[in-house]
Amino acid sequence: MRWLSRRRATADDHTPTKLDREANADDLAALDAFIVDRHGVELYLEPETTATDTTVVAIADDGEWIRRRTGTPRAAQRLAHRRSVPLYEAARVGYPERMRVWNRNHPERRMR
């Protein structure tokens, strides 16, 4: 007996879906430009979810940040190695306090 639905199960019911787009070259270029244009940038890797591809948050020394898709953790590692910036797993280490301070001081960013 089905409690929640009378709809018949289909083969598509077990296929994971992507709700967001895949990473592309523009995403990696934006991260690269952010690293080059700012001082003391660190990268924070965020794992892939059912809604979003693997992402990286780049956080500058002053707390300014951007988030972009990288496609794979390996692509993020290559970017970090090429630009000699540290790469952390966000789920393990969290985000630095300077990012939260920057967010509080720039409420206009939340309107986007």
Distance CA 68, CA 28 (A): 7
Residues whose CB falls within 8 Å of the CB of residue 88, separated by 6 or more in sequence, listed in order: 42, 43, 44, 45
Q: Residue 94 in 3-state DSSP?
A: coil
Q: State residue 19's pLDDT score.
A: 53
Q: Which helix (H) or strand (E) holds 59?
A: strand 54-59
pLDDT, one tens digit per residue, over 22-62 is 788 999 999 999 999 999 999 999 998 888 889 999 999 99
Distance CA 62, CA 15 (A): 42
What are the CA-CA distances from residue 36 to residues 31, 48, 49, 79, 109 (Å)? 9, 25, 28, 12, 21
Q: Which tokens hold the place of 63?
A: 């707390």
To the question of pTM greater than 0.75 for the whole model, the response is yes
Nearest to 24 by CA among 69, 55, 78: 69
Q: State residue 51's pLDDT score.
A: 82
